[in-house]
Structures are given as structure tokens and as C-alpha cells.
Amino acid sequence: SDLPPAFGALRLPRSVLFGRGQRHALGSAAGKLGKRALLCTDERQAAQPEFHAMVADLQAHGLEVRVFDRTIPDLPIGSINACVEEMRGFAPNLVVGIGGGSSMDMAKVVAVLLTHGGDIRSYYGEFAVPGPVMPLIAMPTTAGTGSEVTPVAVVSDDERGVKVGIASPHLIPLVAICDPELTATCPPALTACSGADALTHAVEAYTTLARPADPMLTQDHVFVGKNLLSDHFARLAVDNIFRFLERAYRDGSDMEAREGLMLAALAAGCAFGTAGTAAAHALQYPVGNLTHTAHGDGVATLLPYVMQFNRPFCAPAFAELARTVGLSDAAEEDMSQAFIDAVADLLGRVNIPPSLAALGLKADQQDFVAENALNAARLVKNNPRPLDLPAMQSITRAAFS
């Protein structure tokens, strides 16, 4: 790489509020940004007493509020269009996403469509959002996706049978409000799969390719590549996930663990929002679509196999992560393998499916997965070890059983 050794770059929201009780800051933050707020959420979240308190808080700060509560996990295009149609007449000038990644991504894409018009399909990829969108506030209720700070939204294109990413700096929320208390209701399986999602973000961001610097962070480069600052956030995320994921999984009322995990998800979002992700994410897109399994389960099932494939190209980085999580027993040359084994072990302890077969993939779908994963060109290019069809097939086969 021709990066200077101490190059650092991050793109972040204007404000990030983190900590127990910070959800109560929503009204005052929103009151400064708009007058008509659209809240994107799902039915579960909209039924919480907490949610009614948030709506009341927004109204108390002078906002007119409309709620769209029919967000569906993984964000099928039909639900996006339903929201846009329903809210066009209301003409919001602020969009708030409250929920998991699906609700926050709904807020992002609806803000794009209500600001710039057009069809969601015309915004796929990295360069299509033409300019700023109306102000966005994101408030996660899972500790995983990091969408509250990332320039990404992921939608499910049912017609084409694939998940597709939309990436633009304009998708970064203006304000992220991260209140770990909102994750207290997550059942163990959701805690595990969202924490494992964050682990995958952090590991992939830590091992992507460093790119030539684009100091102005222009539209031409949504992801500026791994660097000093993204590495810092990735290590924080990995450390916290190793300390807190199993604890929160076993005892959902352990608020210290919930807080540590939400910080990890936020930090992993800061890391991959800058550095991007790679093969595990490219492969999850077709796997998720074929098996209808959660994004976090898919990327985490794939993660140890992708790491094993990448190991010859990033052993020093894995060894650093091994030291980050306190692995010190192995000889130096074995540290990278020790970290891969520790990742697989942690994922096993929180019951992430150990193989693509266990996720429900059929044997005759393996080649489709490998071929289709190559379509995620940005993620493929970002992988530390070059990827072609035989490489994708070998990862898929290893991960299958």
C-alpha cells in the first residue's frame, strides 16, 4: 500500500450519544432538526410502552409525528415502497429509524427516496445517491449491525432473489442514539446473532486491504480503507465481544454486558463504515436469500471459514487480534490460528450454526452461492486474499459441512 504509515480517516455521524438512558435525548435532538418526523420501526417495537414514550417526547418538543411500523426483517423492497407511498403526503423533513438494522436501514432508504425520488433499484451500489438526504436519526435496539453510524443500507430484492447494498456517505445518520437498555428485551438467539454480526464487521474491517488515501473523503470513495483509526475501533469491538457476548447471551439482564456489546456494535460500525467488509458478507447475501436466515447468523457461520482461507494473507493481523483478546499461550507462529479457533469456539458457545448445511443450505445450492457472491464486487475487491470462482467455491465447500 502507498498509504503513509499513520494515516487515519473516519466518517461518522455529527453526534453519537451513547449510554444507558440516552433514548430520552431523542426529543431534544430531533426538535433541532425538523418539524415533521417520520418514525420507521417494526410492529414489535411500536407495541412497546417505551416507544409510546418516545413519540410523546417528540411531540412535546413540537414535532408532528407519523409512525410506519411495518418494517420487515431484511427489508424487502415492497415494504420500502409501502412506507414511501404512505408518507409522501405527510412530507416529513426528518426520518428516525428505531429498531434493529432493518428499521434503521428503512429510515435511510426512505430518506433517500423522499428526498431524491425515483426507484430504490436505481440507487444500488456505491455511487448513486446524488446528494444529501433529509436529516436522519438512528436508534438501535439490537447490538449488532452498526447501521446507526454506517454509510450503508441493505435491502432484499425479491424479484432478483438477492440482497443488495446501497452505500453513500449521505446515508450516515446525522445523529446516532445508542441506549443499551433498549437491547434488554433481545432474546438469547438475537443477542448471539447480532453480536456475531458485529464481530464479523470488526474482523473483516481489521483485515481488509488498505487503500491509497483519499484525504478529502469524496463521494468517489465511500469506503476509504482500513487505517489507524478504523483499526482502533475494530480492536475495541473484538475485545468487548470476547468479554461480553457470552455473558449477555446467558443472562439478558446483565446490563454491563449489554452495554459492552452495544459499544462493540457501535465501534465495529465505525470500523467497517470506513474500511468496508469482505468475503463473509459477499457470501452471506446469497446464503441469506436462499435460507431466509438472519444476516448475523449467516456472516458468523461463514466467518471462521473465511478467516481460514484468508490466513496466509493476514496472519499478523489475526495474531494482533489474538493478543487483543488476551490469548498468549500459543507460540508466535501459531497465534493467528489460535485466534481463528477462539472465534469459532466463541461462536459455538452462543450457538451460531456451525455450517452452511446447519443454516439450511442445500448441497446443490453451493455453486450458486459461490457464483452469486462474486457479484458483490466491492466486497470481493476488499478481501485481503484475492477471490475468484474457485476460491469462493472452496470457502463454500469448507463451510458447507
Query: Which residues of the shown chain bind ligand NAD in the complex (CB under 6 A)?
Result: 42, 44, 73-75, 99-103, 105, 141-142, 144-147, 150, 152-154, 182-183, 185-186, 190, 194, 197, 294-296
Reference 148, options 197, 115, 114, 107; nearest CA is 107
CB of 125 to ligand NAD, least distance (A): 14
Give the residue with the Cβ less far from ligand NAD, 49 or 215: 49
* Residues facing 67 on adjacent strands: 39
Residue 393: CB minimum distance to ligand NAD, A: 24
Question: How far apart are CB 19 and ligand NAD at their closest, in Å?
Answer: 17
- Quick one: 181 or 341, whose CB is closer to ligand NAD? 181
Least distance (Å) between residue 321 CB and ligand NAD: 20
- Residue 301 to residues 127, 152, 294, 354, 369, Cα–Cα distance (Å): 30, 22, 11, 6, 14
Q: How far is the CB of 355 from ligand NAD (least distance, A)?
A: 21
Q: How is residue 160 written as a grid cell?
A: 432478483
Please state, as a whole number, how many other Cβ atoms lie within 10 Å of the Cβ of residue 216: 9
Smallest separation, CB 280 to ligand NAD (Å): 11
Report the residue number, 221 or 397, with the smaller CB distance to ligand NAD: 221
**Which residue, 235 or 295, has its beta carbon nearer to ligand NAD?**
295
Task: Decide whether 107 or 307 has the Cβ nearer to ligand NAD.
Answer: 107
Q: How far is the CB of 105 from ligand NAD (least distance, A)?
A: 5
**Residue number with CB closer to ligand NAD (150 or 372):** 150
Minimum distance from residue 337 beta carbon to ligand NAD (Å) = 27
Q: Which is nearer to ligand NAD, 191 or 336 (CB)?
A: 191
Nearer to ligand NAD, 30 or 171 (CB): 171
Count Cβ atoms below 10 Å from residue 280 Cβ, excluding itself: 28
Compute CA distances 49 → 52, 54, 56, 182, 391, whole Å: 5, 9, 11, 12, 49
Least CB distance to ligand NAD at residue 159 (A): 17
Q: Least distance in Å: CB of 305 to ligand NAD?
A: 19
Q: Name the residue nearer to ligand NAD (CB basis): 303 or 335.
A: 303
Three state DSSP letters for the chain: CCCCCCCCCCCCCCEEEECCCHHHHHHHHHHCCCCEEEEECCHHHHCCHHHHHHHHHHHHCCCEEEEECCCCCCCEHHHHHHHHHHHHCCCCCEEEEEECHHHHHHHHHHHHHHHHCCCHHHHCECCCCCCCCCCEEEEECCCCCCCCCCCEEEEEECCCCEEEEEECHHHCCCEEEECHHHHCCCCHHHHHHHHHHHHHHHHHHHHCCCCCCCCCCCCCCCCCCCCHHHHHHHHHHHHHHHHHHHHHHHCCCCHHHHHHHHHHHHHHHHHHHHHCCCHHHHHHHHHHHHHCCCHHHHHHHHHHHHHHHHHHHHHHHHHHHHHHCCCCCCCHHHHHHHHHHHHHHHHHHCCCCCCHHHHCCCHHHHHHHHHHHCCCHHHHHHCCCCCCHHHHHHHHHHHHC
Q: Which residue number, 63 or 376, has a Cβ lying nearer to ligand NAD?
A: 376
